[in-house]
Structure 1
Amino acid sequence: MTRSKILSTARSYITRDRQADHGDAEDNFSRIAGYWSLHTGTTLTSTDVAVMMALLKVARIKQNPQHVDNWVDGAGYFACGGEIANK
């Protein structure tokens, strides 16, 4: 898959598919941050969630770099995190 296709697929996921399934990214990541903060005893933010989810994808890429879904999802998490951080 080309870099252009990876980005266009990620764009489709975060603006349509995942949005319909999981709701607004900032709301979803804030909710996750709340749960993770309770679990870890550390205050986490929605941008922390975006970074940590992207790092999860990096760990999966280390195991199987040919699995393109991890590259697509990682691009999506970084895009969502960047948008949230700049609001």
Structure 2
Amino acid sequence: MSGMAQVINPAAASILAEAELLTAKNRQEAYGDYREQSRDVAAVWSVLTGVAITPRMVPLMMAALKLVRESGKPKRDNRVDACGYLHLLDQLPED
């Protein structure tokens, strides 16, 4: 099963454990280094909004999106993803 995404049994894992696994391994393998991506996303959002967006703002804004979704239609996925984005924030250098 090497190289395959690990399947998580939601009943057996906390949302924090699930978020850590997704951000630490599965998403890294699928999408690459988040530090590079956060810089690229920040640059694009800065151009689109005309506001200076920093790489550290990217996971905060994505977590906010998940919290808004959670407030309207609660789902485990929203909570896992919000935790995952905050975990990614912790991996980025301070501004």
Q: 1:32 aligns with which of 38, 41, 58?
A: 41
Q: Give, in whole Å, the separation in 2 of the partners of 1:19 and 1:70.
A: 19
Q: 1:78 aligns with which of 73, 80, 86?
A: 86
- Fraction of identical pairs, as percent: 32
Q: 1:86 to 1:43 in 2, by over 3 A?
A: closer
Residue 85 of structure 1 deviates from its aligned partner by: 3.9
Partner AA of 1:43 in structure 2: A
* TM-score, normalised relative to structure 2: 0.81
Q: Give, in whole Å, the separation in 2 of the partners of 1:80 and 1:70.
A: 15
Partner AA of 1:30 in structure 2: R
- Choose 1 or 2 for highest CA Rg: 2
Q: 2:67 aligns with which of 58, 61, 66?
A: 58
The residue aligned with 2:32 is 23
Q: Which runs of 5+ in 1 are unaligned?
A: none
Aligned residues: 85
Q: Give, in whole Å, the separation in 2 of the partners of 1:16 and 1:82.
A: 16
